[in-house]
């Protein structure tokens, strides 16, 4: 659960606490992760994350209000919106990458579910998101995600769509999943 509204930041002056106020709830970073992976639509988040509807609606609203995601209308009748990572949302990529590496390091089998590569040259990214061949830090728009050896069976259409090598931020196909 995110920090309470009574929390006194003036006394603590902590940028981590302020960041956690936006992204510190359990489901929030998973929603952001999926948005970076290309998931855009409410039902696709719902199916892939197996998240309660009310929780998803609240997280999408709070992430939109915080400027992490942008709500865009893709269909007028009936009205339907998609959620696209903003610059602020894309800036969370290094933190999500670091959390993923940390989780893998402390996983008993340590096999990655996904690997991340520099789309331009195909080199797997280093620990800090750098291309080992080019020596440059790589932003999410230049990262290709590939299935790793730890990826389990794809139970839902979104998981199946995310198995193909794909660039981060590239939306899933606009067909019903």
In this structure, what token pair is assigned to residue 107?
A: 């996983």
Q: Compute the residue count for the chain.
A: 177
Q: pLDDT confidence of 155, banded at 50, 70, 90?
A: confident
Percent of the chain with pLDDT over 70: 91
Q: How far is the C-alpha of 35 from the C-alpha of 168, rounded, in Å?
A: 9
Residue 3 has pLDDT above 70, yes or no: no
- pLDDT exceeds 60 at position 4: no
Phi-psi region of 135 (alpha: psi -120 to 50; beta: other; left: phi over 0): left
Stretch 152-169: mean pLDDT: 91
Write the DSSP symbol of residue 3.
P
3 state DSSP class of 141: helix
- Please check the confidence at residue 177 and state whether its pLDDT lies above 50: no
Distance CA(128)–CA(138), nearest Å, equals 9
Q: Is 127 exposed, middle or buried (0-12, 13-18, 19+ CB in 10 A)?
A: exposed
129 close to 95: Cβ distance less than 8 angstroms: no
| Confidence category of residue 5, pLDDT binned at 50, 70, 90 | low
What value does the mean pLDDT of the chain take?
A: 89
Instruction: Give residue-wise pLDDT tens across range 96-147.
Output: 999 998 888 887 777 888 999 999 999 999 988 999 999 999 999 999 999 9
pLDDT bin (cut points 50, 70, 90) of residue 173 is confident
Q: Is the pLDDT of residue 11 over 60?
A: no
pLDDT of 18 higher than 90 = no
Asked if 142 and 120 count as a contact pair (C-beta separation under 8 A), the reply is yes
Q: How far apart are CA 55 and CA 51, in angstroms?
A: 7
**Residues 6 or more apart in contact with residue 72 via CB below 8 angstroms:** 81, 82, 83, 84
Q: Which two tokens stand for residue 65?
A: 């209000």
- Average pLDDT, integer, range 146-164: 89
């Amino acid at each position: 659960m995110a920090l309470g509204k009574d929390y006194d930041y003036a006394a603590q002056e902590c940028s981590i606490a302020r960041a956690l106020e936006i992204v510190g709830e359990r489901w929030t970073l998973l929603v952001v992760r999926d948005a970076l992976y290309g998931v855009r639509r409410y039902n696709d988040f719902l199916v892939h994350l197996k998240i309660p509807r009310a929780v998803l609606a609240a997280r999408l609203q709070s992430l939109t209000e915080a400027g992490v995601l942008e709500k865009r209308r893709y269909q007028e009748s009936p009205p339907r919106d998609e959620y696209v990572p903003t610059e602020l949302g894309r800036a969370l990529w290094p933190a999500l990458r670091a959390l993923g590496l940390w989780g893998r390091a402390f996983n008993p089998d340590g096999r990655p579910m996904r690997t991340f590569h520099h789309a331009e040259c195909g080199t797997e990214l280093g620990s800090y998101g750098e291309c080992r061949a080019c020596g440059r830090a790589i932003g999410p728009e230049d990262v290709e995600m590939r299935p790793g050896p730890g990826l389990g069976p794809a139970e839902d259409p979104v998981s199946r769509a995310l198995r193909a090598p794909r660039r981060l931020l590239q939306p899933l196909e606009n067909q019903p999943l």
